[in-house]
Amino acid sequence: MARKYFGTDGIRGRVGEPPITAAFMLQLGWAVGRVLGQGRCARVVIGKDTRISGYMFESALEAGLSAAGIDVRLLGPMPTPAIAYLTRTLHACAGIVISASHNPHYDNGIKFFSAEGSKLPDDVEAAIEEQLTRDMDTVSSERLGKAERIDDARGRYIEHCKSTFPTRLDLRGLKIVVDCANGATYQVAPSVLKELGAEVVSIGVQPDGLNINHNCGSTAPESLRLRVLEERADLGIALDGDGDRVLMVDHSGELVDGDELLYVIARARHDSGKLNGPVVGTLMSNLGLELALKAAGIELLRANVGDRYVLEMMQANQSILGGESSGHIICLDRTTTGDGIVSALQVLAAVVQSGSSLQTLRRGMSKFPQIMINVPLAERIDISDNPGVRQAVKEAEARLQDKGRVLLRASGTEPLIRVMVEGEDDALVREQAEHLAKVVEQTVERKIKSA
């Protein structure tokens, strides 16, 4: 059946607007419980980021699951990858994350993990959607699910993060600024770095329910860049609101994006003989990453945009390393899903092992100029078959010749069409991106008017 609620990364939207309402979350919790309860499900864990609506949705999901006869373990504010980890170690049959990741506080969403700590299979999501069409009922009182808070969840996850860093190494002598985006990592990331020996300066660690991702974190790294320069730090780490993405800043204040971080980790794994299989990027991965990896004898495969597609391609090709330009990096030799803290630790291990700065390690890759323009949509519209858009793309590719790429795609999490142009000539890239974005915008307007 066609998906009504699930996108590429769970269910997401504006709080108070369907489906991101308390009533829907109650029904969703019940539907999840009914689907999972058909097997030998004992418990589901629920975690959330720091946005204020998380409290409301946590209670609604808990009630729905209980009505379906499923026990609940409440983790409180925890990073998304921590919930994946704890789902496995607590032997739960599923994990639920209440988060809109890098979005502002007025958005929220729900993501799910299987018992193995990976994204739910498509058939399970389809079964949940089918269950949502049914009237909610409640099991008998003696079969109602019970709820319990896990008080040591944070400590368990901190130890897990530390275990992914080589035991013979530490971070002594490094001064690190970490920006936790006033989000789910605010109590975890600074502790991990300090316990590994770093001198840590923490920012974005005062969440109030409304300031998550606001002028901070990986979506707004300028404050981190300035603080790294002010503190004369060795580097900076920028996490997003739910902790599954990471960007970094080198000691000179230059931003290091997900493609460059993926390159640093890949080279370190390759040089130590521990890189199994190809590296998996996405259609948005910079051409410079592909060329730099090729020069090192490493193959890059490109998946569709979205961490679930990266993971699927990694598993199909026996790969241990993949990721996105946004900083969503998956190290399958360390964990089961994208993890900002764990990914940062792999970069830090490369810095310590090599004795080189992050700035030096990133120099092995030269990024091609890449411009991405987001064209907002009043409603989701498919323009992939529009003759005018196709012709504009063809003309842009001709202008770039064989020295660039053009990509148009609909966002899986927001009502946007992303226009990306990449090539050697910065001015030409910008010109073609702006032209294509205008063509797309005009096409969308015409389709809406004619609808």
Which residue from 55, 48, 58, 59 is spatially nearest to 99, judged by alpha carbons?
48
- Of 101, 114, 285, 326, the active-site residue reads 101
Active site residue 101: yes
For 105, counting Cβ atoms within 10 Å of its Cβ (0-12 exposed, 13-18 middle, 19+ buried), the class is: buried
Name the CA dihedral angle for 113, 202, 253, 230, rounded to a multiple of 10 degrees.
Answer: 170
Token pair listed for 252: 């000179």
CB of 72 closer than 8 Å to CB of 43: yes
Q: Can you spell out the DSSP letters for 281-333?
A: EETTS-HHHHHHHHHTT--EEEEPSSHHHHHHHHHHTT-SEEE-TTS-EEETT
Cβ count near 4 (within 10 Å): 10
Measuring CA to CA, which residue among 119, 162, 131, 154 is closest to residue 31?
131
Sign of CA dihedral 111, 208, 414, 1: positive
Distance between CA atoms of residues 70 and 93, nearest Å:
10
Residue 44 bridge partners (DSSP): 72, 94
Structure tokens at 402: 């064989």
For 351, phi then psi, to 5°, come to -65, -50
The answer to whether residues 42 and 9 touch, using CB atoms and an 8 Å cutoff, is: no
Dmax (CA) of the chain: 70
Query: ω into residue 81 within 30 of 0, thus cis?
Result: no
Q: Which two tokens stand for residue 349?
A: 């291990």
Give the residue numbers marked as catalytic. Answer: 101
